[in-house]
Amino acid sequence: MALVYLRTGMTREATFSLFVRHLPATRGFLVAAGLESVLEYLETFCLGEEEIARLAEAYRLPPVELEPLRGLRFTGDVWAVPEGRVVFEGEPLLEVTAPLPEAQFAETFVLNQVSHQTTLTSKAARCVLAAAGRPVIDFSLRRCHGVDAGMHAARAAAIAGFAATSNVAAALEYGIPATGTMAHSFIEAFGDEALAFRTFVEAAPGPVTLLVDTYDTEQAVALAVDLLRGVPAERATGVRLDSGDLAALARGARKTLDEAGLPRSRVLVSGGLDEYDVHDLVAAGVPVDAFAVGTKVGTSADAPYLDATYKLVEYDGRPVMKLSTGKATWPGRKQVYRARTLDDVVATRGEPPPEGAQPLLEPVMLRGGRVARQRAPFAVVADAHRRWVTDLDGLPEPVRRLRDPEPPTPRCSPALDALTARVHDELLPRTGAGSGPGRRSG
């Protein structure tokens, strides 16, 4: 497509809008993420000699056919919702304005990063809500969709406010603590739980959390507690339960720890947990001090993708829209205005905000360059975390609750409604389309 645009002179400015058509049924809100990856990509991508040769080979075309693409890079603008902010259906997370071939070329990467990082960050945010103040730890790397996805899962965890990650590379990159852990294999290798625990206490640097469910959990807790009593208080972190009736075992472990005079040693639970399990344990008053979540969170198993889309909304100053059944779009460049009550309004870009409302989208890239200097990954993540904490504060219970949430449906501003109706009516005679709704059907 980019090639056809270049060949036929369709190179005027286009605006594409990235938004989520409908939230997954289990989500009351999303937490925006992925923008930093997008900016890095747009700043650096360029189709050079080698890329052209590779494209030609892949499409099985003579390289000369692709000549117009040579030197293509991104020279446009990006407006975006900053990472960490709460967003809802139909709200643009990002709008790209650039010569049409450039904006088109960016689609795949931009959509990939924003939709999957927003998926993971929204899931991680729910875990933090479920834990109600108790620390949550990311154990997801081993089951994410690749190493890349594992890095993004840990980044999502850091934005959401997890206490630590088992992903060492991500810990360094995003400035959250790395946490080591003992696996069942450690105990099995020694073949004797007491010997394994003792060896760990003696030879492992740092905190001691003993895994107690390899053979018989109650007996292992007794063993572990005996050992923890001999360890300096700051190292005696606690015990980890990874299988069985976690509620009953946690109560038993807590009691044993307390009776041994170790009130500050923690009961950590893990083992295929997601936010629903965490919520249920917390709601039942089970004395769990920390949760480790992995597989289901790192793959966002109950909602592994978003119905996100990157749609052309304006070309050469002319607002455009799609009329496809169930997939119609709102035309034109946009802004989202938010009042305290989360009574969001999707508006045309540039129209004045409703009283007391603030804009969500900010210019982050102009003429191919970042508006703000690039910063260290951990600093970007820390800012995103602060935004999430602030937005969370304003989230009413029906929106933030984990089961059967009630996400708000943003309104359209009167100006955007009028624009949509006008563009729709103008399209009808040209396309012969039937009597559409006059606006986005979703």
Q: Which of residues 181-240 bind its own copies (CB under 8 A)?
A: 181-186, 188-193, 199-200, 202-206, 213-216, 219
The binder of its own copies chosen from 315, 342, 368, 382 (CB under 8 A): 315
Window 373-432: residues binding its own copies (CB under 8 A): 427, 430-432
Q: Which amino acid is at 305?
A: Y
| 5 binding its own copies? (CB under 8 A) | yes
Return the number of the residue (357 or 419) whose C-beta is nearest its own copies.
Answer: 419
Considering the complex, what minimum distance in angstroms separates the CB of residue 390 from its own copies? 28
| 395: number of Cβ within 10 Å | 18
Minimum CB separation of residue 418 from its own copies in Å reads: 19
Taking the complex as a whole, the smallest distance from the CB of residue 155 to its own copies amounts, in Å, to 11
User: Cα(378)–Cα(264) distance, rounded to whole angstroms?
Assistant: 30
Paired tokens of 107: 């689609």
CB of 216 to its own copies, least distance (A): 4
Burial class of 48 by CB neighbour count within 10 A (0 to 12, 13 to 18, 19+): exposed
Q: Please tell me whether residue 50 binds its own copies under the rule CB under 8 A.
A: no
Per-position x/- string for 114-153, each x denoting binding to its own copies as judged by CB under 8 A, each - no binding: -xx--xx--------------------xxxxxxxxxx-x-
Secondary structure class of 92 (helix, strand, coil): coil
Backbone angle region of 5, left / alpha / beta, with phi > 0 → left and psi within -120 to 50 → alpha: alpha
- Interface region with its own copies, contact rule CB under 8 A, candidates 70-78, 167-175, 257-265, 406-414: 167-175
- Dihedral (CA of 39, 43, 44, 47) sign: positive
Query: What is the rounded distance in angstroms from the CA atom of residue 413 to the CA atom of residue 345?
Result: 6
| C-alpha–C-alpha distance, residues 379 and 215, integer Å | 43
Residues 283-312 that bind its own copies (CB under 8 A): 295-296, 299-301, 304-306, 308, 310-312
Q: Under the criterion CB under 8 A, does residue 180 sit at the interface with its own copies? A: yes
Minimum distance from CB of 170 to its own copies (Å)?
Answer: 9
What is the spatial distance between Cα 27 and Cα 413, in angstroms, rounded to a whole number? 24
CB within 8 Å of 342: residues ≥ 6 apart: 86, 394, 395, 396, 399, 408
Kindly identify the residues of this chain, within the stretch 64-83, that bind its own copies according to CB under 8 A.
65
Among 55, 231, 282, 286, binds its own copies (CB under 8 A): 55
Closest distance of CB 207 from its own copies, Å: 10
The nearer residue to its own copies, 340 or 430, going by C-beta atoms, is: 430
Member of 40, 46, 49, 54 binding its own copies (CB under 8 A)? 54
Closest CA to 303 of 18, 23, 20, 21: 23
Residues 355-374 that bind its own copies (CB under 8 A): none
Please check whether residue 294 is in contact with residue 278, taking contact to mean a CB–CB distance below 8 angstroms: no
